[in-house]
Structure 1
Amino acid sequence: MKLHKILITLLSAITISSCTSGFEEMNKDPMAVNEISPSLSLPNMQYHGFHIVYGDYQRAALLYSFLYCQYLANTSSSFTSGNYVFNTSWAERGLWTPYYQQMVKRIREIEPTLENHPEYNDMYQIMRINLAISTIRMTDTFGDIPYFKAGIGETLIPYDSQKDIYYDVFKELTEAVTELKQKKSNQLQYNTEDLIYQGDVDKWIKLANSLRLRAAMRLSFIDPDKAKAEGEAALKESLIASNSDNAGVTPPQPNRWANPLLRSLVVDESRASKTMVDMLTSYGTVTDPRLTLILSQSGAWVKGEADAVQYRGVPNGLPVTDLSLPEYDNSHNSCIWGYMWGYDWNSAAKGSNVAKPNTDANFTPLGLMNYSEVCFLKAEAALRGWQGAGDAQANYEEGIRASFEEMRALAPEGSYSTTDDNTYITTGQVAWNNADDFEIKLEKIITQKWIGIYPNSEEAWAEFRRTGYPKLNPVKQSLEPTINPANNEFIKKLRYVDNELSNNKEYATDPTLNGGKGDGLSVRVWWDTARYK
């Protein structure tokens, strides 16, 4: 539909020009707005709320969660978020504003129309699922946030506890699935304006149930009874069952530069982390079959320099003074720009200048949840004895194979080998051993999930904080005085943005927030039970 594409363009301009506005703008009374069709609201929720705008993606993910889950390391002296320096502008423009203006506000605008437009019901349920995805990400990133009264016209918005938010997300997902399963007649349906599933209701049901399982697992250490109840309820329903069900955002006009991850990496301000390279080259008894799909060779290796290493990563949190050393420059380290994106970089270090995507049609959606993750969720559920989860080993191994399949889908012919697939899965510390204790098995599951959900950095960072796995390397330098890398300490969450601290001060500075711990980069969110330092 041309109309929704035009609307996205216009709203992009509006968002950029008003990105620093406070809650007064974010919470305009939706009752004062003329009726808006869900077909116009949903694409904005997805396009802006999930950061298809590459500048927002850089601020929301590449400069925060990508570094904190150690998929990549910063190599630019202009950025210090990898050293745990908080930048309120990035957090506001990349995370806070898109959530409240493009997620919460959009759905609140639709709710008053439902009574007069029962034909919008299914479309509204899909909007609820989108909001649930984004809400989980926001509360995982910031902890307690404004939620229940956000977007309804209030100026000062109270904060809600993460526990209450998670419990409401369970309710939202359950109710949305119940409504969608009724297959009511006379319902309007999304088409191309749905940038994820193009209106496929059955796939939205699978995603909602899978998200319920994800949310349940997040509570497994802090609220095990609720986690089990919600997880077992989700396991009784249809879940994402293959890579064809994967949820990812495809922009209205996909092209070789439309994926914000690839577009952001062109500017050469980061490289693969040492953690990522070590994991792919040394964790198994053989090289991880996904190595060439995720990483490029170093530019120095391609040029044939004598001291070059083919695959090399940068330690996280290097001091600015170290970034100028030859061993840490971009040419001597791998980019996270491998064959999985449909690129051919045999003669180039990273694919920006020489190698191009094979075709514009080979667009890889910006992933939100994949089949591999669901397999690992089921593996952990089985490990915990949740009914309906199946066999832990079978789910674990299927998760690895699903990851192989997904990453190979667009890879050029001859860019990878399947020869070592079975050896990788069945030998060494990757291999499943029923005699292992709970912690060893959990570490295997989460480590493979960390690789299998790449590049979903938000989920990877959350799972590290929940479980303590995979075992990440402490940053080389922290410029946040409350976090000491020498004591193996890591960042816990992002603090609240400055606009909140000034415009919503009474609530944003409440010392009872986050279980009485208040706010700060070293404050743990509710479900974080200190399984890491």
Structure 2
Amino acid sequence: MKNINNIFLSGLALFSMLFSSCSDDLEGIDENPRNITQEQLEVDFQNVGSLYKPMFENIYQYTPPWSYQLQQNLNADVFSGYMTNPRPFVAGANNTTYNLVSGWNNFIWSVPYSNVMNNARTIENETKDEFPELFAVSQILKVTAMHRVSDVFGPIVYTKFGASATTSEYDSQEEAYTAFFNDLEEAIQILSDNIDSPRFTAFDLAYGGNYESWIRYANSLRLRLAIRISKVDAAKAKTEGEKSLSHPIGVMESNADSFFINGTLDHPIKTINNSWGDIRMNASMESILIGYDDPRANSYFSETVPGDNTTVPVVPGSLKGVRNGLPLLPGYADELAQKADYITFAVLNDNVLTSSVQLMTAAEVFFLKAEAALRGWSGSGDIQGNYEQGITLSFQQRGSSGAAAYIADNTSTPQDYVDPINSANNIAALSTITIAWDNAASNEEKLERIITQKWIAMFPEGQEAWSEYRRTGYPKIFPVVSNQSGGIVDTNLQIRRIPFVDSELQTNPDGVAGAVTKLGGADNAGTRLWWDVPGGNF
């Protein structure tokens, strides 16, 4: 994004045109846009089928790239410790320094509501009774999108979406998660009962109409959500997690089971990274990947060569990250001058920015199973075996060799970070955790190993990485250089959520007021979500 302020204004104008008809209850979003006859459905399902592609491609929005930049890249991708922006947008007063730009954050809410929730409701109305398997897939996609929204804001409009003509009532996050589990349970059962139906094949951008694969994904997603609530509701978490682990079809076991959206467009980060130069490797990634001498580092990132307009002393052959939350530093005339130096740091590698967009991998599932075993859930298997298989599958996914030697490494640790431009940004590594499994370690240390390796394996999916960081505190990522939240966000605890968006405050004030009472704290970026329980993990 060459000028995010101008593009944001254009995007806001577009947003206003798209949603000017919305009333207090997202009216227009929840209306059926077509009159689909039963006869048309029975021919080839094309009318209802056309609603799935927007659902796949707007879990986060593929195009235009600036929409994704606002929906996820300038929040979760950065807050996770994966990436950061070399340009200090808005003179350094932006999301990455916790001076949240509310207009940017509207997209986190509006995109999935307009393109996922709306379409899921139409599909439900048109297919649930006669063609339940089509409904079931839409439910899985709906949970995929909306748990991410809840993990940003907390309470969301979910079970009562479109139920009122005057207001949109929010569920608490606990209520939303209960609904997620119920929706996944129903979808899994429907697909199990219709396992050989070919009806979804023509519309499937993930599994080619294979319902066994969809069931494995839905079970894996349920396991993810169960682990997510394990600190706040251990009994519910165990029950839901064990449903997935004991299911006859089970969870993901191989890289072929991973959930990728196989579209025709490259990952939107590719434009943000390559064409605009608006995102680079985060210093936390450098500290951990280079400290571990991780062979996947060169699959994730590539060295850039300083141009003639910079004097940055980047060491050839190195992968250099940027500290998160940089203000406009002294000595730079403006944002672009600072960007000219930091843009020379490591770029994301094109092989993680393909048209097959990663949302969940088998490697992640093995790390989930490792934590489930650590928590004593039945059917989860051996902790160490799951941990090491998660690493092995991640290496295989990235085409990296040396997994066995990496797994056996009991000496390498994250390294200190050195900024070759400004030594004030230097910082010592925050962890001494090693790679090799240690059965004698405490449960807390074992969990740090599991989450650190899961964090590496999930790249570049920043939303899930940020959620897991908030839940566990791992991996230990560097705090922002400049905290401009005015005391709302603790620098060491880091940002916990995004406040409710302007579009909702303006059109649904009663709904937002009710949501705040369910939040359990002030509507700001320092308030923890329901599952974000302070203190240790055990």
TM range (shorter): 0.7 to 0.9
What is the rounded CA distance, in whole Å, between the counterparts of 1:263 and 1:50 in structure 2? 15
SS at match of 1:459: helix
Counterpart position of 2:76:
65
Task: Report the Cα offset of residue 22 of structure 1.
Answer: 3.9
Look up the match of 1:457.
462
Q: Deviations over 1:84-106 (max 9, x none)?
A: 1222222222x211221111111
Partner of 1:436: 441
Contact 1:514 1:525 in 2 (8 A): no
Q: 2:121 aligns with which of 99, 108, 124?
A: 108
How far did 1:488 drift? 1.4
Structure 2: gaps spanning 5 or more residues: 1-12, 38-46, 411-433
Normalised to the residue count of structure 1, the TM-score between the two structures is 0.84
Q: Counterpart in 2 of 1:10? A: none
Q: 1:393 to 1:306 in 2, by over 3 A?
A: same
> CA–CA distance in 1 between the matches of 2:268 and 2:140?
23
Shift of 1:210: 0.3
Provide the secondary structure at the position in 2 that maps to 1:529.
coil
Pair 1:218-2:228 in alignment: yes
For residue 300 of structure 2, the aligned residue among 270, 294, 306 is 294
Q: CA–CA distance in 2 between the matches of 1:502 and 1:367?
A: 34
Mapped partners of 2:435, 2:331: distance in 1:
33
1:141-174 per-residue CA deviation (whole Å, 9 max, x = no partner) reads 0001111111345331111110011011101001
Whether the 8 Å CA contact 2:127–2:134 is kept in 1: the answer is no
Q: Name 1:275's counterpart in structure 2.
A: 284
The one of 372, 377, 381 equivalent to 1:381 is 372
> 1:45-84, aligned counterparts within 5 Å?
45-53=55-63, 54-78=65-89, 80-84=94-98
| CA apart distance, 1:307 | 3.2
* Compared CA separation, residues 199 and 392, structure 1 to 2 (3 A): same
What is the number of residues matched between the two proteins? Answer: 478
Letter of the structure 2 residue corresponding to residue 201 of structure 1: Y
Unaligned runs of 5+ in 1: 1-12, 342-362, 409-415
* 1:80-479 equivalence runs, <5 A: 80-93=94-107, 95-114=108-127, 118=130, 120-152=131-163, 154-183=165-194, 187=197, 189-237=199-247, 238-251=250-263, 253-254=264-265, 258-266=266-274, 267-282=276-291, 284=292, 287-300=293-306, 307-309=313-315, 310-321=318-329, 324=332, 329-337=341-349, 339-340=351-352, 363-408=354-399, 418=401, 420-428=402-410, 429-479=434-484
- Residues 165 and 339 (structure 1), Cα distance of their counterparts in 2 relative to 1, 3 Å cut: closer
3-state SS of 2:280 partner: strand
TM norm structure 2? 0.83
Distance in 1 of aligned mates of 2:100 and 2:348:
24
Residue 300 of structure 1: SS of its match in structure 2? coil
Shift of 1:333: 1.4
- Distance of 2:229 and 2:347 partners within structure 1: 34
- CA–CA distance in structure 2, aligned partners of residues 338 and 277 of structure 1: 18
- Name the residue aligned to 1:524: 528
Equivalent-residue separation in structure 2 for 1:274 and 1:114 (angstroms): 48
Conserved in 2, the CA contact under 8 Å of 1:464 and 1:470? yes
Match for residue 490 of structure 1 among 462, 481, 494: 494
Q: Would you say the 8 A contact 1:147–1:160 is kept in 2?
A: yes
**Equivalent position amino acid for 2:132 in 1:** N
Shift of 1:483: 3.8
Q: Is the 8 A contact 2:296 2:395 kept in 1?
A: yes
> What letter corresponds to residue 132 of structure 1 in structure 2?
V
The AA in structure 2 aligned to 1:406 is: Q
AA partner of residue 205 (structure 1): I
CA 1:504–1:431 in 2, change beyond 3 Å: closer, same or farther? same
Q: Is the 8 A contact 2:272 2:279 kept in 1?
A: no
Post-superposition CA distance 1:222-245 (Å, at most 9, x none): 100100111111101211111111
Distance 1:86 1:96 in 2: 15
Q: Which residue identity lines up with residue 110 of structure 1 in the other structure? A: I
Contact 2:25 2:165 (8 Å CA) reproduced = no
2:480 is paired with a residue whose SS is coil
Secondary structure of the equivalent of 2:74?
helix
2: distance between equivalents of 1:23 and 1:526?
28
* Structure 2: distance between partners of 1:288 and 1:21: 51
1:483 and 1:490, CA in 2 relative to 1: closer, same or farther beyond 3 A? farther
Q: Aligned equivalents of 2:98 and 2:532: distance in 1? A: 19
Determine if contact 1:27/1:155 at 8 Å carries over to the other structure. no
**Secondary structure at 1:494 match in 2:** coil
**Gap change, CA 1:322 and 1:165, over 3 Å in 2:** farther
- Tell me, yes or no, if the aligned pair for 2:408 and 2:436 is still in contact at 8 Å: yes
Aligned identity (percent) is: 32
Distance 1:509 1:427, change over 3 A: same
Q: Deviations over 1:385-425 (max 9, x none)?
A: 110000000100111111111122xxxxxxx6x2x432221
The structural deviation recorded for 1:469 is: 0.4
SS in 2 for 1:367: strand
SS in 1 for 2:359: strand
Distance in 2 (CA, whole Å) between partners of 1:499 and 1:14 is 13
Letter in 2 for 1:423: A
Deviations 1:243-289 (A, max 9, x none): 111111122x34xxx2212122120012111101111111x3xx101
- Write out per-residue CA displacement over residues 421-464 of structure 1, whole angstroms, 9 at most, x where no aligned residue: 32221122100011101000000000001100101100000000
**Cα separation, partners in 2 of 1:23 and 1:42, compared to 1, 3 Å:** farther
SS in 2 for 1:57: helix
Q: Contact 1:209–1:239 (CA<8 Å) still a contact in 2?
A: yes
**Shift in alpha-carbon separation, 1:337–1:17, aligned structure 2, 3 A:** farther
> Would the alpha carbon gap of residues 291 and 302 (structure 1) be closer, same or farther in structure 2, given more than 3 Å must change?
farther
User: 73-82 or 209-218: which moved more?
Assistant: 73-82
**CA RMSD for the aligned pairs?**
2.7
| Alignment partners' CA distance in 1, 2:120 and 2:218 | 17
Q: Displacement of 1:20 after TM fit? A: 6.2
Letter in 1 for 2:368: L
Residue 189 and residue 77 in structure 1: after superposition, are their counterparts in 2 closer, same or farther (change >3 A)?
same
Q: Which runs of 4+ in 1 moved over 6 A?
A: 13-16, 301-306, 325-328
Aligned partner of 1:344 in structure 2 is none
Distance 2:199 2:325 in 1: 47
Cα separation, partners in 2 of 1:20 and 1:399, compared to 1, 3 Å = farther
One-letter amino acid of the counterpart of residue 111, structure 2: P
Q: Deviation of residue 33 (structure 1)?
A: 4.5
**Partner SS for 1:30:** coil
Are residues 107 and 319 of structure 1, via their aligned partners in 2, closer, same or farther at CA, if it must alter by over 3 Å? same
